[in-house]
């Protein structure tokens, strides 16, 4: 899986995940990509501040999806360790923190597209991080 930063012809920025670069191109050609803000399907990739090298060598010399999954697991482990899970109350809790009603802390959870839009309109920064598939049950 790969995430691309995208922009529509109305200059709305958003992110989308694809199986690979070819999947992005195929969906774009079919007109399946639409801006979540305005619905435009005139969408293009934009430079991203973060890049993931999928051809790098993993622990045992593999260059497979396992290396990427290992990296995602490390990221997610750090996020879990350093944030409070507020579940589906993410947007509400983020708004409370933003307006000083709740204590300032790092939180994680889920939000609907509409809630994400509200957070952006209120000037609240957040980051979407994919939850990696469990590949092992050792120690869990």
Which one is predicted more confidently, 99 or 140?
A: 99
pLDDT digits (tens, 9 = 90+) for 105-124: 999 999 998 999 999 999 99
Q: What is the dihedral of CA 16, 18, 22, 26, to 10 degrees?
A: -70
pLDDT digits (tens, 9 = 90+) for 52-73: 555 555 455 555 777 877 888 8
Domain carrying residue 80: 65-121
As for how many domains the chain has, the answer is 2
Domain assignment present for 99: yes
Check whether residue 83 and residue 115 sit in a common domain.
yes
Domain assignment present for 13: yes
What secondary structure letter does DSSP report for 102? S
Domain assignment present for 18: yes
In angstroms, the CA 35 to CA 12 distance is 7
Mean pLDDT score of the chain: 82
Share of the chain above pLDDT 70, in %: 81
Domain assignment present for 35: yes
């Amino acid at each position: 899986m790969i995430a691309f930063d995208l922009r529509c012809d109305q200059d709305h920025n958003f992110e989308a995940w694809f199986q690979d670069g070819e999947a992005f191109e195929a969906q774009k050609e079919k007109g399946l990509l639409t801006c979540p803000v305005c619905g435009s399907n005139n969408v293009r990739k934009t430079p991203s501040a973060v890049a993931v090298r999928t051809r790098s060598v993993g622990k045992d010399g593999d260059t497979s999806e396992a290396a990427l999954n290992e990296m995602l697991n490390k990221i997610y482990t750090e996020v879990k360790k350093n944030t409070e899970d507020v579940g589906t109350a993410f947007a509400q809790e983020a708004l409370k923190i933003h307006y000083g009603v709740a204590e300032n802390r790092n939180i994680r959870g889920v939000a609907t597209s509409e809630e994400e839009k509200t957070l952006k309109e209120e000037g609240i920064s957040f980051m979407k991080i994919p939850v990696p598939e469990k590949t092992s049950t050792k120690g869990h």
